[in-house]
Structure 1
Amino acid sequence: MERFPVLKTQRLLLREFHEDDAQALFEILSDVQVNRFLPMFPLASLPQAKAYLKEHYLGNPDGWHYAVCLREEGAPVGYLHVSGQDSHDLGYGLHKDYWHRGIMTEACRAVVEMLKCTDLPYITATHDVNNPRSGAIMRKLGMTYRYSYVEQWQPKNFPVTFRMYQLNLDGREGRVYRKYWEQYPEHFIEENL
């Protein structure tokens, strides 16, 4: 039985991951370019992808986890998740062969519309300042910039400046998720974003 509703858009099918998606996930998460802005190192083998799939998608009841598929194809070309933790963090990734086509914006919009029908009060998302395309997706979803902070990215172990965006789904526009602001001593608000 599916834990999450299947979502369909003009071009996409968003569904839960299945065990036979390991190869597709490996092709996404083993790519150095795709991995550049992820905290983990690229996956090195199919068995590693199977273990990752099992840990993060098949056995994880926390939040919403979607395989992003083209409607005419069955295999995932990307992934999208919203954390069940207090950040309700939206995260996503896409196979590089499908970059710059609006696919992730389309997928994220479908999930945001679905979440508006739940009792989830807000979502957040962060992006590395060196990855402005990710921030552009957040803005297209109606998310607004709240603040920036510097985190020692693990396990890669280097400092990254993140911009934190938020979308309040319950209409409480004044709410700001402040955990990262409080957790990381180096934080600030960038002007003219």
Structure 2
Amino acid sequence: MIRIEIERLILRPFSDGDLSALFMLLSDEEVTAFLPMFPLKDMAEARSYLRYIETWIRNGGFYYAICLKDSDLAVGCIHVSGDDSHDLGYCIRKEFWHNGFCTESCRAVVDLLRRMGLPYITATHDVNNPRSGRVMQAIGMHYCYSYEELWQPKNFPVIFRMYQLNLDGQMDRVYREYWDRYPVHFVETF
């Protein structure tokens, strides 16, 4: 994975030196409220999560630390899965919310993926987390459909909105895996 420098941030691979920063990010209940994980409880879980990131990358995905340019401090993360969903995800420490850091990071990753020839990316957000949807819209993603999933490991039903950005110009392509997998699916009108 290459290091990406953008206006206010650096996107770089996580390292063992980021263990405390990763724990600070992913132990926060507000930050993890809409993530498919429970908050980390201790540094041992943070260390295990770093190993998870390594596995994510070995499986063909991207997983970057979002760092402040002036300090190289990891304050968030952004990732794209290596499976056929090419699912984009992101989070940032709450003291850095509402500064456009996720949007700025997503734009940089989308530019990289476009240059690499990835045909499309998807992203989903809980309907109760509309700010995440606004990040998706800000980077040019388009709403495709909604579906209900019994969300794991938290084990409660969630309505997700699925967004997609076709990077190769095939504008009629829609990733249908979630539509086909979950019996409760529909298209919302806004």
Q: TM-score range by the shorter chain?
A: over 0.9
Task: Tell me how far apart the structure 1 counterparts of residues 52 and 188 of structure 2 sit (CA, whole Å).
Answer: 36
CA distance in 2, matches of 1:46, 1:122: 35
Is 1:8 the counterpart of 2:1 in the alignment? no
Whole-Å Cα distance in 1 between the matches of residues 155 and 55 of structure 2? Answer: 28
Moved over 6 A (4+): none
Report the CA distance between 1:75 and its aligned residue: 2.0
Percent identity of equivalent pairs: 56
1:88 counterpart residue number: 86
Which moves more between the two structures, 172-181 or 4-13? 4-13
Q: Distance in 2 between matches of 1:59 and 1:81?
A: 9
Alignment deviations for residues 56-108 of structure 1 (CA, whole Å, 9 cap, x no partner): 24773221110000101122100000111000000001001100000110011
1:31 paired to 2:28: yes
The equivalent of 2:173 in structure 1 is 175
Q: How many residues align?
A: 189
Q: CA RMSD in A?
A: 1.0
Whole-Å separation in 1 of the counterparts to 2:151 and 2:7: 36
Structure 1: stretches of 5+ with no match in the other structure = none
Q: Deviations over 1:99-143 (max 9, x none)?
A: 000011001101111111012100000000000000000000000
Counterpart of 2:99 in structure 1 is: 101
Q: Distance in 2 between matches of 1:133 and 1:32?
A: 17
**Alignment correspondent of 1:42:** 39
Partner of 2:149: 151
**Aligned residue number for residue 165 of structure 1:** 163
- 1:77 aligns with 75
Query: CA contact under 8 A between 1:12 and 1:70: conserved in structure 2?
Result: yes
Q: State the secondary structure of the residue aligned to 2:115.
A: coil
Which 5+ residue runs of structure 2 have no aligned equivalent? none
- Do the aligned residues in 2 keep the contact of 1:18 with 1:58 (CA within 8 Å)? no
Match of 2:64 in 1: 66
Q: Check 1:183–1:69 CA distance in 2 against 1; reply closer, same or farther (3 A cut).
A: same
Q: Is the deviation greater in 133-142 or in 53-62? A: 53-62
Distance 2:113 2:78 in 1: 13
CA contact (8 A) 1:26 1:49 kept: yes
Task: Mark the CA change 1:57 to 1:98 in structure 2 (over 3 Å): closer, same or farther.
Answer: farther
Aligned to 1:114: 112
